[in-house]
């Protein structure tokens, strides 16, 4: 099964359409299936009293409020119409996450392949109901969530018409400490929720999303930027284009390596059986009529003779001809 790879541009365009379009090209060249942006009306997303997250304070300073920061990072609705058209021209899927109800209405008209439901909206009932009523497939991140919160959200989505939901394990810290990734929780979610699972990553580097693909993730999402040193809240916890390219290549290799889940000898290794396995051979010169024993038989390569698994069948029988040392029995 092909892993859907989402290159999360987020707000790493810093409010610039020129940067956003360069990111579209970079994501396409890296091999991602989709590039994802964030659509929001700042004053409908946060109150004027909302503080920045600690990681945002570290990356953008404490002078501005969260609202002031987001106002500088927001793109307009016409910008997203243009970006979707540009993605089609470049040949990569366009996705944007809505962060308020009005943005859901707007993006629904753009006819995206699926909704990417962010972790922060999992406990937002009006949001969940409105998103579900569009009837589109939903890919839901679950950062900061307890299992019962995820189950409650799924019940609301399904009660309002959602029939296709993929659930992404996620940790909402930027960057996520490796000790807090808890990647095996992805398998528990799959078992309990009975939904396709995936992983949205905020760690430094590419190892964890690759491991998630090996564990069966059907969707991988990863933040990327054109330059980690740029100003903005998410650049430092993002991949640069060359790193995104390496991650995509590795995940594509993991797709092939996962296989069908059944243990069997493959066509590529069939030819090596005779070379690597062993056969029963003469340990010394054996004369016709001599009884085969542990003294005159041994096991050596190649494996194109009698299998050593028949050792006890051969011991005690008589040689029907003469054998030289190392000759196959």
Rounded Cα distance between 260 and 262, Å, is 6
Rounded Cα distance between 113 and 96, Å, is 10
Q: What is the mean pLDDT of residues 165-178?
A: 96
Which of 96, 88, 133 lies closest to 112 in space, CA to CA? Answer: 96
**Model pLDDT for residues 75-96, shown as the tens digit of each residue:** 999 999 999 999 999 999 999 9
Rounded Cα distance between 237 and 173, Å, is 9
Q: What is the mean pLDDT of residues 212-218?
A: 97
Mean pLDDT rounded to a whole number for the chain: 96
- Count of all residues that appear for the chain in the document: 329
Question: 215 falls in which pLDDT band (50, 70, 90)?
Answer: very high
End-to-end alpha carbon distance in the chain: 46
Rounded Cα distance between 259 and 257, Å, is 5
pLDDT at position 57: 81
Cβ within 8 Å of residue 262, ≥6 positions away: none
pLDDT at position 232: 84
Burial state string for 101-138 with b = 16 or more CB within 10 A and e = fewer than 16: bebbebbbebebebbbbbbebbebeebbebbbebebeb
Q: Is the pLDDT assigned to residue 14 strictly greater than 90?
A: yes
Which of 30, 18, 13 lies closest to 230 in space, CA to CA? Answer: 13
DSSP state letter for 176: P
For 328, list phi and psi in degrees, rounded to 5.
Answer: -60, 140
Q: What share of the chain is helix, strand, coil (3-state, %, to 5)?
A: 40, 15, 40
Which of 28, 175, 41 lies closest to 92 in space, CA to CA? Answer: 28
Burial state string for 25-63 with b = 16 or more CB within 10 A and e = fewer than 16: bbbbebbbbbbbbbbbbbeebbeeeeebeebbbebbeee
Residue 123 near residue 143 (C-beta atoms within 8 A): no
pLDDT at position 29: 98
Q: Global pTM?
A: 0.89
Instruction: Convert 54-74 into a string of H (helix), E (strand) and C (coil).
Output: HHHHHHHCCCCCHHHHHHHHC
**Model pLDDT for residues 53-69, shown as the tens digit of each residue:** 888 887 788 878 899 88
Burial of 224 (C-beta count, 10 Å sphere; 0-12/13-18/19+): buried
Residue 34 near residue 95 (C-beta atoms within 8 A): yes
Q: Give the CA distances from residue 62 to residues 40, 54, 55, 57, in Å, rounded to whole numbers and listed in that order.
A: 22, 9, 11, 5
Looking only at the bridges linking them, the beta strands covering 197-201 and 138-141 are unpaired
Lowest mean pLDDT, pick from 8-12, 190-194, 233-237: 233-237
Q: Is the pLDDT assigned to residue 176 strictly greater than 90?
A: yes
pLDDT at position 108: 98
User: Could you give the domains of the chain?
Assistant: 4-258 (3.20.20.70), 267-314 (no CATH)
């Amino acid at each position: 099964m092909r892993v859907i790879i989402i290159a999360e541009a987020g707000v790493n365009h810093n409010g610039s359409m020129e940067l956003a379009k360069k990111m579209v090209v970079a994501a396409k060249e890296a091999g991602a299936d989709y590039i994802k942006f964030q659509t929001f009306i700042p004053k409908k997303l946060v109150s004027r009293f909302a503080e920045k997250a600690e990681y945002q304070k570290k990356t953008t300073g404490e002078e501005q409020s969260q609202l002031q920061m987001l106002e500088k990072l927001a793109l307009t609705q016409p910008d997203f119409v243009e970006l979707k058209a540009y993605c089609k021209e470049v040949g990569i899927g366009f996705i944007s996450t809505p962060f308020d109800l009005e943005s859901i209405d707007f993006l629904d008209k753009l006819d995206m392949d699926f909704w990417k439901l962010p972790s922060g909206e999992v406990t937002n009932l009006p949001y969940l109901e409105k998103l579900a009523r569009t009837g589109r497939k939903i890919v839901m991140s679950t950062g900061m969530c307890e299992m019962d919160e995820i189950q409650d959200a799924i019940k609301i989505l399904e009660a309002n018409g959602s029939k296709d939901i993929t659930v992404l394990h996620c940790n909402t810290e930027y960057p996520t400490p490796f000790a807090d990734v808890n990647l095996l929780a992805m398998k528990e979610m799959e078992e309990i929720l009975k939904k396709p699972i995936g992983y949205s990553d905020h760690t430094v580097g590419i190892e964890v999303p690759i491991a998630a693909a090996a564990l069966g993730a059907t969707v991988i999402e990863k933040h990327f930027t054109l330059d980690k040193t740029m100003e903005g809240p998410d650049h430092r916890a993002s991949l640069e284009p060359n790193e995104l390219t390496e991650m995509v290549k590795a995940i594509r290799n993991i797709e092939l390596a996962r296989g069908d889940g059944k243990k069997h000898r493959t066509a590529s290794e069939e030819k090596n059986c005779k070379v690597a396995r062993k056969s029963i051979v003469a340990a010394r010169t054996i004369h016709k009529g001599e009884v085969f024993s542990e003294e005159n038989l041994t096991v050596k390569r190649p494996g194109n003779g009698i299998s050593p698994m028949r050792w006890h069948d051969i011991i005690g029988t008589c040689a029907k001809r003469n054998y030289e040392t190392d000759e196959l029995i």
